[in-house]
Structure 1
């Protein structure tokens, strides 16, 4: 019988703040994990109102007022992506950067039927930043967010598959989605759909697995590899795509091999030269294979796994002036908490995070463990020198009273 990983089990205390069940699906997390995740698409109707996350006014602000540069936006029409030079221009006096978005050029492209793709919204739009960080923490896989803004009766991209799982959140307007089964199941990051272009085109002519219209509040989950194409209907369509960059067994195998090779660097015989005049692996291969198998058995890729995972996302935003204010007014009753999305882990006396690592003396291990609960703590309960050090490191931040 399948079992649910401990990290996926429900607790009443944290249900209210979870993204997956409250905003993306109507199943329980256990049902999604066992029956849907990485296996099959899932269409959920009217699961949430997404107007608090994104809107038409958000599109206008990002395009015209934020000074965004490429690659934070792409322009596509009928399967072709426009050259960046066609929608960018210098920023003017005091901002002479050549690739800032040109709102006039973008308006003309949009009016002509092009889709605007606002990329990496987890970096540029605060409500999406928070959602993506929380979802990534829940799933254990990094999440990025794009918005697709398509004029009526147009499509930006032809049938294709993604190399990451996606949650499609329909924000405004409606869009017809046609989904077909994979031609290359569970593709890796370096196995894009363009390597199977003919098979994709052939499969897209067959019977659809899903042919439906997404309305505002609907969510479509697609595992990586599932073919899809979408077309806006009678009004401008805006949808968010949350791309889940899943860890795979192949990625773990790569890290295991890298860890084993690191061990073999310390083996003097493995550092030895092959015989003079060698023209192939010959008898040396059996020796190398034995040593490599032994190193694979001994190697522990866990530190590399966590280091790579920390590098794949950013911690929650931190205001330098608010941080300075917290330091200057620090008192025993000042509430502080662990900065969100830090991927903080305490191993022995070392706390590793996305902003670096800190080693603690024995006396500070107890407060270091306490802050990992993510809750607010009075600075005096943790120790003022301890709190000051972690505020300066960007690990602790002021908490609301």
Structure 2
């Protein structure tokens, strides 16, 4: 089990979205949860987001997976990396590395990305608009971090998807060794390259942009057929200017728009659905054959458990524990089963002791639905 060597509460107070920092020995006696060979194997899977980045002779190239064995045959000993996004969705050992960060909101956690780099391998100087904890695994990596929002994009920054910037003056310039953690808030330019074959684990935290909220809310309104009404004005009068928008009409239209944002129930459901959707593909496999209610009840009564699919987001609002949002869907929890809400949302395993009033039919029916969708699966 991985454990942070520092207080996350104190860290949030001093550094979170304020300034970058290096925490030496952030994990004591750190052991890599995955080998380079296993990571390379993940890059060969169709459903997994992976990249190969090379900067040999100063020429940057990036390719997206999946790859095959031939890709890794005859590679140089330097100047390349391969990267796997959301590796915690596909490897149980990697998923354990997320555990120490679960005091932070699940909806804010994006994924755990892994980079394997040989000497001088990296992705070049760039700026991210999210918070990231970069955990050093095997090997050593040299990192430089600049002041916030300093750095201009290069002329060819979008070539092959590499959003690189020009060089910058460093406020942090140091080498990370196994167990060290580099925290970088949004907007700070940074650049890291391997001094020797090394593994880096990036735990990213990303909130939706204002643009995303507006765009997704519009989609939600349309999908749920909300607000399908026109402005009505039976008191309409003539006006001198044909092209004029009257103040009264503008106010009416504006109030129609504001009204759509003033319905707490609609906003709660929209936010729950939006925030419970992962940005990365999940390993969801619907049950085949499907479970019936008796099989669900017998499984739990036998002391067996169901495990949540890695990376699946299951959320509830602070003052509304009878509605759960899972992967963009809404589920109602029986009034007398709020312990089930906390089990579904705060824990990875589901077992009978977490339920109130034994196993009533509504709770069993809900669990049956979740298992058959592939959101939870049987664990012996």
TM-score, length of structure 2 as denominator length: 0.71
1:31 to 6, 10, 25: 10
1:68 to 9, 25, 45: 45
Partners of 2:258 and 2:135 in 1: CA distance: 46
> Which consecutive unaligned segments of at least 5 residues does structure 1 have?
1-16, 85-98, 186-192
Bigger mean CA deviation after superposition, 66-75 or 143-152 = 66-75
Q: Quote the residue 2:368 is aligned against.
A: 392
Q: Is the counterpart of residue 312 in structure 1 residue 282 in structure 2? A: no
* Offset, 1:330: 3.6
Q: Is the counterpart of residue 371 in structure 1 residue 371 in structure 2? A: no
1:13-162 paired onto structure 2 within 5 Å: 22-23=3-4, 26=6, 28-48=7-27, 49-54=29-34, 58-64=35-41, 67-69=44-46, 72-78=49-55, 80-84=60-64, 100-111=66-77, 113-132=79-98, 135=101, 138-140=104-106, 141-152=108-119, 154-162=120-128
1:139-288 paired onto structure 2 within 5 Å: 139-140=105-106, 141-152=108-119, 154-183=120-149, 200-201=165-166, 204-206=167-169, 208-233=170-195, 235-247=196-208, 265-269=227-231, 282-283=245-246, 285=250, 287-288=252-253
* Offset, 1:244: 1.4
Partners of 1:240 and 1:271 in 2: CA distance: 59
Look up the SS of the partner of 1:161 in the other structure.
Answer: coil
> Which consecutive unaligned segments of at least 5 residues does structure 2 have?
152-156, 344-349
1:65-110 residue CA offsets vs partner (Å, 9 max, x unmatched): 88423763211123723344xxxxxxxxxxxxxx642223224335
Q: Quote the residue 1:353 is aligned against.
A: 326
Partners of 2:379 and 2:341 in 1: CA distance: 14
Contact 1:174 1:215 in 2 (8 A): yes
Contact 2:142 2:174 in 1 (8 A): yes
Partners of 2:78 and 2:121 in 1: CA distance: 12
1:209-238 residue CA offsets vs partner (Å, 9 max, x unmatched): 1000000110001012110111211x2121
Contact 2:277 2:326 in 1 (8 A): no
Bigger mean CA deviation after superposition, 42-51 or 74-83 = 74-83
* Offset, 1:148: 1.4
Residues paired across the two proteins, number: 341
Contact 2:277 2:313 in 1 (8 A): no
* Offset, 1:288: 2.7
Partners of 1:65 and 1:267 in 2: CA distance: 50
Partners of 1:160 and 1:281 in 2: CA distance: 48
Look up the SS of the partner of 2:121 in the other structure.
Answer: coil
The change in CA–CA distance for 1:46 and 1:114 in structure 2 (over 3 A counts) is same
Bigger mean CA deviation after superposition, 246-255 or 28-37 = 246-255
The change in CA–CA distance for 1:344 and 1:178 in structure 2 (over 3 A counts) is closer
Partners of 1:101 and 1:70 in 2: CA distance: 12
Partners of 1:293 and 1:63 in 2: CA distance: 50
1:258-284 residue CA offsets vs partner (Å, 9 max, x unmatched): 789999834421799xx9xx9978445
Look up the SS of the partner of 1:37 in the other structure.
Answer: coil
Look up the SS of the partner of 1:370 in the other structure.
Answer: helix
The change in CA–CA distance for 1:166 and 1:252 in structure 2 (over 3 A counts) is same
* Offset, 1:348: 8.1
Look up the SS of the partner of 2:97 in the other structure.
Answer: helix
Across the aligned residues of Structure 1 and Structure 2, the Cα RMSD in angstroms comes to 4.5
